[in-house]
Every structure is written in structure tokens, then in C-alpha cells.
Structure 1
């Protein structure tokens, strides 16, 4: 019985990817590949970009490219890991730092996410636009990472509400609002220097904390409903004083 000639095999299939030991050079090359792939995906769409396009953009041959990535799906998987799984783990770490109060932790959490979007808005845009192209094995991990981000934000806001530092808001709704503030940066901010990105991140973090921070004089251990009533009374008193002070209202 004749054996198949290896040279007659389908040469369109990629060779088995080799995994050279991790080096600083390898990391730089991989970052270049991810950066060029991100740019091409944004310009041409995921389905309109080929591995040959990525190889040409990085100045590599296609066989050489296989030493670093296996497919377009591999590039997309790395982007998902970097932009979705990474933030969830970072938020979990910050929230676990119980030495700081909820407001300080919320500020740091918002700052970290906002900073990433401000520095690399095109990557987040690409991730959103590419959700429909995620391989099946990535769909659920991606969705879980989004749930984890929401869980961490809602968790720290809930802690702030229970301690009295935050207003008696719905933690989930407040968390979704904060996440929306962070995500929207990728659509309106134009990348500049890192200092500019940090300034944007700090401004958004300030606004996020201010949106939930309580100014009630009620003690922290007071019931949330009683704190809400106290805040309403304070606001009504302010409104009455404002109306009384308006010129021309007397008589």
C-alpha cells in the first residue's frame, strides 16, 4: 500500500505554530502585530482583513507570522483577553483593598478603566464592533468578563451605600451608568499624550464618584430609607429658600 507523500499535502493549511521562549523581542513583535491588526480591523473590518494583510503591515512573511499567531481569531482572542479579562481582574484587586473607603476604591476603579479607553480608544471600538465575529469558544468568557466588571462596580457602590458614604442608589443601575461614562470615552476622545489621557480619566473618575457621593449629615449606620428622607427634606428646604429669595415674588 502506497504511503502519502508529505509534499503532496495541502500547503494552504498553516504549519504548526512554534512557541519560542518568551523574550523582550518577542513581546515587542507581538505588540506590533496586535497594533497593526487592530488598525486593519478598524479600517477594513474583521472579515475584510486577511493574515496576509497583517503580515504585509508588519513587514513579515506569512510563515514568520505563524511563529507568533495562529489565526485572525487568535489576534481577536488576545484583544478580548487584554480589553475584557484584564480590567475585570484589576477591578477585583482594587475592590479587595479594604484599607481604603468605597469612594477611594470607586475612584481608582473608574480611573483605571477610563485611562485604558483614553489611551487606546480604537482598541475598545474594535472590540465592540467585533462582538459578532467572536469565535464560539470566546463568546461566553467575553460575556462573563463583562458581568464581572459590572459585579465589581456594583459591589463597591453597594458598600458605599451601606456605609452611608454614597446616596441610597440602586448599585446595579449606578454601576451601569459609571461603566457607560467610561466606555463612551472611546468614542469622543482623540488620543494625544499620556498626560492628556490621564487628565480625562481623572475627570471622569471625579464625576463618577460625585454622582453617588452622599452629602447627608445622617450617621453612616442610619437606615438608607431614612437617609433618603433626610436628603429630600434638605433639598426641599433649599428649594423653599431659593423661591423665597427670588425678587418680585412678594405681595
Structure 2
């Protein structure tokens, strides 16, 4: 689970990523996700890891440091994990690889994902909040770049790139709210299904496209007033 270990500036630190540290981060992520920050103590983390509190404090000075490494570090590592799994090739297949890799990260580090998601808007530390937003934007911009590539290559029609990116990420980001690991489909398989739905659409080839929805009444009134003036 090396993806959760980062230095203070957010750069992965392979040398520091001992098995013990990774075990602590993994167990802490599970506890933060299930019991919350306030409901998790250093003693809880030590017991879950099967180690003494003194050994836990040897690696981390306090609970907040562990929480920051789990909740903030995982946002960086998600980007690195996905980026390294998007191969060269047709832009549309890069989008598929992006979605499947994101789902794979969720499967591997589900507790860290949940803890990070929970902390995203609830963390009172404003510096960490800003850091997470910056890393989220980089992740979203990476996907938007792939979508724009697919448009430029003529593989998909001209769509609103930010809106399309939000659609794709929303389908993946909320998987933790309903995904059941005891079911047969893996997160990667679900992401593949999502890609097919997004890329190929839901309408069958023989079905006529529905007419565009009319704007709300208030919008129509404003349009008439504008045309009269």
C-alpha cells in the first residue's frame, strides 16, 4: 500500500514507507472511515495494528499527523496511481483507462478513499483543505485533457468538457456509498460499464432522439421580455 506514504511536501517517500508505517496508515484509514476522526484514538490504532502505543508514537507524533497522511496523502497518490496507468493510444481508451484505474485504486485502498472523502469538506484545517482542493483540481484537469483529446480526434462529439468530467467523476466518486464488495462485479468492471454508458450512450440505434427540454417558465418569460425590448 505504498501509495499512502508521502513526505511533508506531498512527494512519495519510498525509503520511509516501511511495512509498519503502511500497516498503521491502512488500519488508521479503516478506523477513520468507520468511527470518524473524533471516535478514533491512538490506542485504537495501536490495538488494530497489534503494536504498543510507544511504537506507534515512534512513527507518528500524534493522531492528526496520521490523519493528514491518510486524508491528504491519498489525494496525491490517486492522481499518481491513475496517471501511471493511462497508456498511450486512442484518447477514448485513455478515458476508459482513467476510469478503470480510479476504480482499481478505490478497490485497493477503499478505507483510505472513504476517510479522505469524509474529510474533504469536514476537515477544519484550512491549509489541508486548500491542499486537497489543489490536488483535486489537478486530477480533474487531467481527465478534462483526455476528454478534449477525444473531441479533437473526432472520437466524441463536441461536449462541455468540464461538465463531462464532472459526470464521469461523480459516477466514480460516490461508489463508496453503495458498492458492496460481496457482490460479483468488481469496481473495475463497474467502471468499464460506466465508460460504455458514457461513451456509447443509452439510446438504442433505432430509437429517435427525444426533443430538447423546454426551459423553465421563468426563463421563457425573460426571453420574451428581452425580445420586446
- With normalisation by structure 1, the TM-score equals 0.66
1:239 maps to which residue? 208
Which whole-Å CA distance do the structure 2 matches of 1:143 and 1:103 have between them? 26
State the match for 2:218 in structure 1. none
Which residue of the partner structure matches residue 106 of structure 1? 95
Matches of 2:21 and 2:183, distance apart in 1: 23
Aligned partner (choices 95, 111, 115) of residue 122 of structure 1:
111
SS in structure 1 at match of 2:59: coil
SS at match of 1:53: helix
| Alpha-carbon separation, structure 2, partners of 1:239 and 1:173 | 24
Aligned to 1:209: 199
Provide the residue aligned with 2:55 in structure 1.
64
- Give the TM-score normalised by the residue count of structure 2: 0.71
Larger Rg: 1
- The aligned runs of 1:147-158 (5 Å cut-off) are 147-158=137-148
What is the rounded CA distance, in whole Å, between the counterparts of 2:97 and 2:111 in structure 1?
Answer: 23
Correspondence list, 1:209-228, <5 A: 209-211=199-201
Count of aligned residue pairs for this structure pair:
193
User: Take 2:81 and 2:98, find their aligned partners in 1: how far apart are those partners?
Assistant: 8
Per-residue Cα deviation, 1:162-201 (whole angstroms, up to 9, x for no partner): 2211121101000000001111221111225998343233
In the TM superposition, 1:23-34 aligns within 5 A as 27-34=18-25
Where in structure 2 are the equivalents of 1:1-251 lying within 5 Å? 22=15, 27-93=18-84, 99-131=88-120, 132-133=122-123, 135-192=125-182, 196-211=186-201, 239=208
Deviates more, 1:64-73 or 1:161-170: 64-73
Q: Is the 8 A contact 2:70 2:115 kept in 1?
A: no
Q: Secondary structure at the match of 2:181?
A: coil
| Alpha-carbon contact 2:91-2:147 (below 8 Å) kept | yes
User: 1: CA distance between counterparts of 2:208 and 2:128?
Assistant: 53
Aligned-pair CA distance for 1:122: 3.3
SS of 1:239's equivalent in the other structure is coil
Note closer, same or farther for the CA distance 1:177–1:124 as it changes in structure 2 (3 Å cut): same
Structure 2: give runs of 5+ residues left out of the alignment. Answer: 1-13, 210-229
SS where residue 67 of structure 1 aligns?
helix
Does the Cα contact within 8 Å between 2:42 and 2:62 map onto a contact in 1?
A: yes
Any idea what the Cα deviations from partners look like across 1:99-145, whole Å, max 9, x if unmatched? 41110111111110012223443332221222322634322221111
1:10-69, CA deviations, whole angstroms, 9 ceiling, x for partnerless residues?
xxxxxxxxxxx948xx63222221222122223321022121221122222211112222
Give 3-state SS (helix, strand or coil) of 2:60's partner.
Answer: coil
* Structure 1: segments with no counterpart, 5+ residues: 1-20, 213-234, 241-251
